Amino acid sequence: MICVNDVTKIYPLAKGSSVTAVDRASLEIHPGDFTIVVGRSGSGKTTLLNLLAGLTRPTSGNVTVDGTNLWTLTDDQQSRLRNQTLGFVFQFPSLLPYLTVFENLILPTCLQPKPSQNGVRERASECLQKVELYDKREVYPRQLSAGQQQRVVIARSLMNQPKILLADEPTSNLDEKTELEIMDLFANLHASMGVTIVMVTHTQQLISYSNHAVTMAAGKIINDARR
Amino acid sequence: MSLFELAWKSISGYAFRSSVVALCAFLVAAFALFTTLVMRGAENSLRLAIDRLGADIVVVPEGAEAKVESALLMGIPARLWMPQEKMEKISTIDGVDTVSPQLYLATLTGASCCSVSDMFMIAYDPQTDFTVQPWLQRTIGGGLRLGEVVGGSYISATEGKQNIRVYGYLVTLKSNLEPTGTGLDQSMFLTFDTAYDIARKSGSQAESPLVIPPGSISAAMVKVQPGSDPREVAVRIMQSVPGVTPIESTNLFQSYRKQMTSLLKSILVILGLTWGLCVVLIGLVFSMAANERRKELGVIRAMGAGRRYVFQSLLAEASILAFFGGLSGIILAVAAVYLFRHLIMASMEIPFLLPSPVSLLLYIGGGLALALFSVNLAALFPAYKISRQEPALAMRE
């Protein structure tokens, strides 16, 4: 489903220096996988996730999704692929503060040139019910706790019924209890919807939720294990 | 949720930033429209005043050009005289078709025998006149009889339904002329017979008599023969008739035109500076806003918005702000011009005529277009830059 082939990502820094965030990484994500990428801060996990999603261009190597090299696509094609195939959960608060929970939820369905609005309201209600926040649909993000906001983000990521869910340290800003709730939510979604999940975290213990664990250090994949 | 709805919600969400951009659009549109309305109003007014005079050349006593201009343009009464023989000499000059004399008179200031104070009066000779009578023929179907007058658009009866008391003499207001925005709107037109009748009776009826020196006229209106060049005819008049100044109608109100041109230049400089500053300020605000919203825009791109969508949504925000800011500015400018036009005329010493509804709509359209262009121009670069940024980079701290 997703293949990372010998990918390197180098960020140029000031005064001609550079930093290699991902160094010749190769990885395969299969349909239905619950992949967790672990590593310390600065190990290149987030960059790897961004490369998988086409959010940044690799310096060398390539990334294919369902056999299509992401960087042979035009910007419009890439955007459509992200919109229809991928769902995102970010580490930072990513709800738009000036939209209500409901409006945030339907946002991904409005971003393409000719969005289809068929059944959008029903699907949004369904997604909110999945994360148990249907009664908060008319409130603004600032009126929600951090955990509730993250659940809304998860609901939003499901709006376009993506095949793959990409999550970048989705629990790092949450307390332990809320972290467990969110991880259980991911596990349920994986089990009930069969969605492929790729999650980046620095918490080793969360590997227990996955069937595929990838460990990174200094930009390299040092371990790639399946259970 | 359409792109415009999203832009609208974003505008509401960032009220302060949005207000600054809207305020700039407001300033640009208000200032530009106000200036245009005033300057075009003055131009139209001058043009109409010249048309109303209907003469190719106006001949006045030497040195009285400024007085005549002030009288015709601002309604400041002028008393100037030259011998009637000058007119007879002018009529013999090659290229002159018709010459008609006029008397420039004024009512008394604050006198009980005049129900209007210090009003400019123009007396014409019905035998030769080619300026006032054609209009009278068109509107009231004939000329004025003894004791009848027509007034500029601001003249109204003060005694009964139709009468105005001048030097203790009751004249009948037959009709009003279309507005020109000049002093002609506050002037009264009457025949020589009426003027002389008022002068004759004013000795006994008025606090101070109306004096018309015998054998004198104030100005001579000249129509040139078809095919003749008014400039050449004016030169011939100057050479042949001493003690008079011929003014071609196209050169009439030159001092006002110069004053308006210098005023226009100053206003254009200020307008240019304001516009430049506003565009820079809007550009800065948009750059700051785009920077502040990098993460948000990165998230939107990650969720499937293309570069074009981000670019268009930022320009949609700019357009909405420009539209509402510009519209507010336009409403204020139009209201200010309509409500304070007399004050503007008096303080800037220029004539002014309100534009026709069609012209006003065109000016409003132009003002809105300028606001939209300015804001979009300023937002163009920041919007383009942020839309080209890699989503991953945009989302990084």
pLDDT digits (tens, 9 = 90+) for B224-240: 998 889 899 999 999 99
CB contact under 8 A, B303 and A107: yes
Which pTM was predicted? Answer: 0.74
Contacts of A78 in chain B (CB under 8 A): 306
CB atoms < 10 A from the CB of B231, how many?
15
Q: Which residue has the higher pLDDT, B180 or B98?
A: B98
CB contact under 8 A, B395 and A90: yes
What's the confidence (pLDDT) of residue B111? 65
- Asked if the model's pLDDT at residue B118 lies above 90, the reply is no
DSSP conformation class of B94: T
Contacts of B12 in chain A (CB under 8 A): 98
Q: What is the pLDDT of residues B131-151, one digit of tens each?
A: 888 877 877 777 888 989 988
Confidence of residue B397 (pLDDT cuts 50, 70, 90): low
Chains A, B: CB contacts under 8 A, how many?
A: 80
Q: What is the pLDDT of residues B238-283, one digit of tens each?
A: 999 998 999 888 777 766 777 777 877 888 888 888 888 888 888 8
Q: Which residue has the higher pLDDT, B350 or B68?
A: B68
> How long, in residues, is chain B?
397
Residue of chain B whose Cα is closest to the Cα of A77: B306
CA distance A208 to chain B (A): 28
- Which contiguous run of DSSP H or E holds residue A212? strand A212-217
ipTM of the complex: 0.88
Contacts of A154 in chain B (CB under 8 A): none
Confidence of residue A182 (pLDDT cuts 50, 70, 90): confident
- Report the residue from B2, B13, B299 with minimal CB separation from A90: B299
- Asked if the model's pLDDT at residue A159 lies above 90, the reply is no
> How long, in residues, is chain A?
227
> Does A19 contact B at CB distance below 8 Å?
no
What rounded mean pLDDT belongs to chain B? 85
CB contact under 8 A, B13 and A97: yes
Cα distance between residue A127 and residue A178, in whole Å: 19
What rounded mean pLDDT belongs to chain A? 88
What's the confidence (pLDDT) of residue B101? 93
